[in-house]
Amino acid sequence: MNIGFLGDIVGRPGRTMVKTHLRQIIQKESLDKVIANSENISHGFGMTVKNHKEMTKAGIDIYTGGNHSFDKKDDYEEVLAHPTALRPTNYPDDVAGRGVGIYDVVGEKLAVISLMGQFAMPICDNPFRKVLSIVDELTAQNIAHIVVDFHAETTAEKRVMAKLLEGKVSAIFGTHTHIGTDDYDTTRGTFYVTDVGLTGCVDNIIGMDEKIPTKKFLTGIGGHFKINNSCKKIMQMFVLDIDSNGKTTKAKKIKIYENKPMEQIAI
């Protein structure tokens, strides 16, 4: 099974990079499924029905979420009713959507878990206890191909999750901070990276125009973050080969800067 995973896609610049490059990557890498974190797809906050359709047409098959999954008040219920769209599973059970999706991929079952950390995040269930219970349930169903998007603020949370699930899942992709890290590795068949890195503007602050975040740091007074659509763009994703036992055997990062050759880093 060959899968691709994109980190936080931020606004129109991110969507533009996906539409420009993803189909070519899918063909070149023979990808069976593409997963992407979707919580910043629409103007940086949430995902609209329109943009869900747009990105699906561009090649994304499954969408994970985060703390902005519910930002588009007029759209999130319809979006999360779609089987391809997930929100963090440790939100309360009575909110819209679901956090675990099981999909048929080349004769195997692929389970995708959307999970959110605790530090500086909305109040939610303990992600560590929650995910252990879910993985046990999936394993009892003989589902070996399990991918986790852990949407969390701190490296400590993500490293704990890596050790907790080592050897139990196929991959753990860290998202949320938008800054790609270089600690990607595969241990006991489990791929891990602290943060995949954003797809969108790379020459400002986490994909957003720098004026408001800079003002907040200088004065303590915040405002509404905006996306500058005239920017230098980047696309970042990982490509994994997962064997029949659910173990990652090969992995590489693909990084594309606008108007530059694609960079591929084998792991």
* Cα 31 from Cα 1, distance rounded (Å): 8
**Element housing 133 (H / E):** helix 127-140
Q: Return the percentage of the chain with pLDDT > 70, whole number.
A: 99
Task: Please say if the pLDDT value at position 266 is more than 70.
Answer: no
pLDDT in tens, 116-166: 999 999 989 999 999 999 999 999 999 999 999 999 999 999 999 999 999
Query: Would strands 33-37 and 2-6 be described as parallel, antiparallel, or unpaired?
Result: parallel
> So what's the pLDDT on residue 226?
85
Residues belonging to the active site = 68
> What is the identity of the amino acid at 135?
V
Instruction: For residue 83, give every residue at least 6 positions away whose Cβ sits within 8 Å of its Cβ, in sequence order, or none.
Output: 101
Report the pLDDT averaged over residues 62-82: 95
247 — alpha (psi -120 to 50), left (phi > 0) or beta? beta
Spelled out in words, what is the top-level CATH class assigned to the domain 2-266? Answer: alpha beta
**Cβ atoms of residues 229 and 10 within 8 Å:** no
Work out the average pLDDT over 211-219: 90
Residues near 108 by beta carbon (within 8 Å), at least 6 away in sequence: 1, 144, 145, 244
Tens digit of each residue's pLDDT (9 = 90 or more) over 4-58? 999 999 999 999 999 999 999 999 999 999 999 999 999 999 999 999 999 999 9
Q: Which of 238, 244, 230, 242 is nearest to 256 (CA)?
A: 238
And the tokens for 203? 């020459």
For residue 267, is pLDDT > 70?
no
